[in-house]
Chain A
């Protein structure tokens, strides 16, 4: 690999001699457009299909090899047209989508309306076991291709119709004004015929329409992506390619970065946060990401769902010294939460600093008083359940418990209850076996306030793990989804968020940042709101 890099570099140097700008990375940067960088990666959990990838590692690759109708701006998170020429609607329920001309997949096939419709039908169909099927749940006919039980009665969504080579219509089951803004999510990416004709070969070496193409892929160890020279889009890659290397332990990746064997680490381990400034200087980035950590409650448990419980829940929230925990345990890489969304949405997108108000401020006396008013902790104590296998959860859960114990002057008020694996943790949640509050993290799918509220707190929503249900909240969300005026819709969502606050449906803990460290070869490293590096803008010298 190193040899190849040198060869490219040499070729590029010669090109520089011929034409001074050939290897400049755009606007006067010192980048070498032919150079390849190496970056840390984790083995994707599911096969690399757009509608089957629900975690960040697979998402990274899809983000490099696919472009959808919309794309979220790497910095602002705003949904902007990419392949979409226009998306029209008169009633927020029926949409006519026109695909831009001139786009092709890297194998030469044209990207047409059919490429989208086929991909979405594939993603929605029960028979294909796609983990992200529910993203198509708003489209008419979803209950036929993906019934809750029994066999599917249709193969294609009746709400999707191809009306021309580049146009298709989408009919939704309800009004959903921000539907176009959700289309930047990977699940909505177009797929070439090769995906359907020779599926096994495609999964071994995916073909998409993004700025990179897959050069080689060794499952479980490495993927080499190279810049696609004929990429028709505006965001052409500024480097020659990316080698994604699988690391089992992010500590090893970090060590490799220090030793100069790796160019980019996008997950600086918690244990190294103390040293990272000394080690890397300004080659380290720590920016807000669309991730919020909360504590959810088991509302199926009478003890947590009776009159006065909301006071107990609010009291618990006030007993947590968020600032101290984020400062000491996370070295300020997380920020105390003051609402239930994320700063990456921006004020215009619905983030409202301080919406939680006093309920999220550390106030031991007030906490004690509120909990007593609400009838005290159920059984005199509270257990916080979490999965102990990843993400240094144990440290902060212990800290939260300490904080609660101190506030309540009771050493046995709060105990941590670790669950061995994530899968087991999810099982206990699904089986409604949570004995008390439990860890709930949310990484947004798309930067909309709707995504922070509806999937988590709407009655029976997919990630409403505590089974909270509130008519007022549901009504407000329904109204917000139907509202065609964006500002008004966001206002309604914020009203719904206030309902969440007044009931303390979940305790917001902190907003999580994304972090990245890189070698001296790289410049212009940025993280998008999904805490994924913007690979195509990185310049390599």
Chain B
């Protein structure tokens, strides 16, 4: 187990370097960011040259990358164009997005898995068909439609919630955005769990458990669900990274100043430092989440062992 983890951690290094290099190159291809700083006029050449030097843009790209990575390892993610340290931006943005992601994941697990179990056990019944239909609708409607619709109904028409999230972004304010963010994944989780449960319901070990005379809830939770969760855990694990980075649309609709907002602004302003910094952290989140998922397999299914 320990050796497995070490091996996986070592494997992360090339993935990390490759991913950050790609992002770095992509942002660079977008062109010189300085020109966008002076409004509808040409930056005067002297100031532009000084700004380029200050942001290290006058060096060749490979050298910029090396300097950047060197700095990253000492915890220096550079400075955004508005003079703020990228680490400062991160320290305000990540807690908000983490809260949002937590709520979204919680929705996925609680509602998604519960619905999946119910429908899986009642396959073909009206409940099953009904939920399947709803998930189909949720999956096919884009997030921004769901988000704007709920915002308008709950926020403006009925006045139950504030349509936008304040700068503190507390948990209770994030419930609706979290639900919107989770909606599509939630539908997938429901469907995944349902298929998995329906499949395993007929397997030998379930029949054995029932034959042993175990109470029904024990059969379902300990035997059936535990064995059916592997694909769901894989999905949710990958979803953590996706939710954190992919919240751009949701964060925009509800005016949440999280990672998505910083990334959006960074891209618009071609701010290499912000974009690469945030994406680097997201890459790390992805890698770690994947590792945790793989380790969880062993917990769920004792037959899986890592050496």
Q: Does B35 contact A (CB under 8 A)?
A: yes
| With A203-B83, A245-B167: A455-B152 Cβ-Cβ less than 8 Å | no
A486 proximal to B (CB < 8 A): no
**Chain B positions within 8 Å of A249 at CB level:** 252-253, 255
B163-A256 in contact (CB<8A)? yes
Which B27-81 residues have a C-beta within 8 angstroms of A? Answer: 30-47, 49-51, 54, 81
Asked if B267 lies at the interface with its beta carbon under 8 angstroms from chain A, I say: yes
| A247 and B255 contacting across the interface, CB-CB below 8 Å | yes
Does residue A54 face the partner (Cβ distance < 8 Å to B)? yes
Instruction: Let me know if A131 and B31 touch, CB within 8 A.
Output: no
A220:B270 contact, CB within 8 angstroms: no
Whether B253 and A252, one on each chain, are in contact in the complex, defined by CB atoms closer than 8 angstroms, is yes
Residues of B within 8 A of A255 (CB): 151-152, 155-156, 163-164
Once bound together, how far apart are the Cα atoms of A469 and B88, in whole Å?
46
Query: Complex formed: what's the CA distance from A88 to B276 in Å?
Result: 53
Inside 8 A of B42's CB, which chain A residues have their CB?
A: 426, 429-430, 462-463, 465
Known pairs A43-B82, A221-B257; A423 contacts B51 (CB<8 A): no
Q: Is the CB of B54 within 8 A of A258?
A: no
What's the least CB distance linking B251 to chain A, in Å? 7
Stretch at the interface among A167-175, A229-237, A436-444, A489-497: A436-444
Give the distance to chain A from B91, nearest Cβ to Cβ, in Å.
11
CA distance A114 to B225 in the complex (A): 77
Cα distance, A425 to B163, chains bound together (Å): 34
Which B residues touch A260, using CB under 8 A?
159
Q: Are B265 and A248 in contact (CB under 8 A)?
A: yes
Contact: B44 with A218, CB < 8 Å? no
B164/A252 in contact, CB under 8 A: yes
B129 CB within 8 Å of chain A: no
With beta carbons under 8 angstroms apart, the residue of B32, B41, B44, B152 that contacts A423 is B32
* A222 CA / B92 CA spacing, docked (Å): 13
Q: Which residues of B contact A60 (CB under 8 A)?
A: none
Which listed segment binds B: A69-77, A145-153, A178-186, A533-541? Answer: A145-153
Name the interface residues of A33-54: CB closer than 8 Å to any CB of B.
43-47, 54
Expressed in whole angstroms, the Cα–Cα distance for A100 and B104 within the complex equals 59
Residues from chain A with Cβ under 8 Å of B44 in the complex: 133-134, 146, 148, 462
For the complex formed, measure the closest distance between the CB of A497 and the CB atoms of chain B, giving whole angstroms: 19
Q: In the bound complex, do residue A129 and residue B50 qualify as a contact, i.e. CB atoms below 8 Å apart?
A: yes
Considering the complex, give the chain A residue whose CB is closest to the CB of B83: A47
Q: Is A331 among interface residues, defined by CB-CB distance under 8 A?
A: no
Chain B interface size range = 35 or more
- Least CB distance from B285 to A in Å reads 21
Give CA–CA (A203, B252) in the complex, Å: 27
Given A423-B35, A424-B30, A426-B35, A131–B40 Cβ distance below 8 Å? no
Q: Is A126 in contact with chain B by the CB < 8 A criterion?
A: yes
Total number of residue pairs linking A and B with CB closer than 8 Å = 156
Task: Return chain A residues, CB-CB under 8 Å to B207.
Answer: none
**CB contact between B268 and one of A221, A389, A440 (< 8 Å): that residue:** A389
Please state if A420 and B30 are interface contacts (CB–CB under 8 Å). yes
- By beta carbon, the residue of chain A nearest B32 is A427
The reply to whether B43 and A146 form a contact with Cβ atoms under 8 Å apart is: no
B270:A248 contact, CB within 8 angstroms = no
B33 pairs with A423, CB closer than 8 A: yes
Contact of B38 among A131, A253, A389 (CB under 8 A): A131
Say whether B218 faces chain A, with CB atoms less than 8 Å apart: no
Q: Are A248 and B252 neighbours in the complex by a CB distance under 8 Å? A: yes
The chain A residue sitting closest to B168, CB to CB, is A221
User: Are the CB atoms of A129 and B253 closer together than 8 Å?
Assistant: no
Encode contact with B along A96-139: 1 for CB under 8 Å, 0 otherwise: 00000000000000000000000000000011011101100000
The residues of B that contact A146 with a CB separation of less than 8 Å are 44, 46-47
Interfacial chain B residues near A247, Cβ < 8 Å: 164, 255
A421 touches B30 (CB 8 A): yes
Instruction: Tell me the smallest distance from the CB of B218 to a CB of chain A, in Å.
Output: 48
Q: Is B16 an interface residue (CB 8 A)?
A: no
Residue A509 is within 8 A (CB to CB) of chain B in the complex: no
> Nearest chain A CB to B153's CB is how many angstroms away?
11
Residues of A within 8 A of B295 (CB): none
A128, B33: Cα distance in complex, Å: 19
B235 near A: Cβ within 8 Å? no
In chain B, residues 231-270, which have Cβ atoms closer than 8 Å to a Cβ of chain A? 251-255, 257, 261-262, 264-265, 267-270
* CB of A345 closer than 8 Å to a CB of B: no
CB pair B84–A148 under 8 Å, yes or no, is no
Asked if B45 and A148 sit within 8 Å, CB to CB, the answer is yes
Q: Contacts A220-B92, A424-B30 hold; do A248 and B255 have CB atoms under 8 A apart?
A: yes
Q: A47-B83, A423-B31 are in contact. Are A259 and B257 (CB under 8 A)?
A: no
Q: Once bound together, how far apart are the Cα atoms of A126 and B53, in whole Å?
A: 13
Q: A423-B33, A423-B270, A442-B40 are in contact. Are A259 and B156 (CB under 8 A)?
A: yes
Chain A interface residues toward B at CB < 8 A: 43-47, 54-55, 126-127, 129-131, 133-134, 146-149, 203, 218-222, 245-249, 252-253, 255-256, 258-261, 389, 420-427, 429-430, 440-443, 455, 462-463, 465
Please give 17 more A-B residue pairs, beta carbons under 8 A apart, in addition to A248-B252, A252-B163, A427-B31.
A131-B38, A131-B39, A146-B47, A219-B82, A246-B167, A252-B252, A255-B152, A256-B163, A258-B163, A421-B269, A423-B34, A423-B35, A426-B36, A427-B32, A427-B36, A430-B43, A463-B40
Task: For the complex of A and B, list the 3 residue pairs with the smallest distance between their C-beta atoms, beginning with the closest.
Answer: A423-B36, A426-B35, A221-B167
Offer 22 A-B interface pairs, CB within 8 angstroms, sorted by A: A46-B37, A46-B83, A129-B54, A131-B38, A134-B44, A149-B46, A203-B83, A220-B84, A220-B257, A220-B262, A221-B92, A221-B257, A246-B255, A259-B156, A259-B162, A261-B162, A261-B164, A389-B268, A421-B268, A423-B34, A423-B36, A463-B42
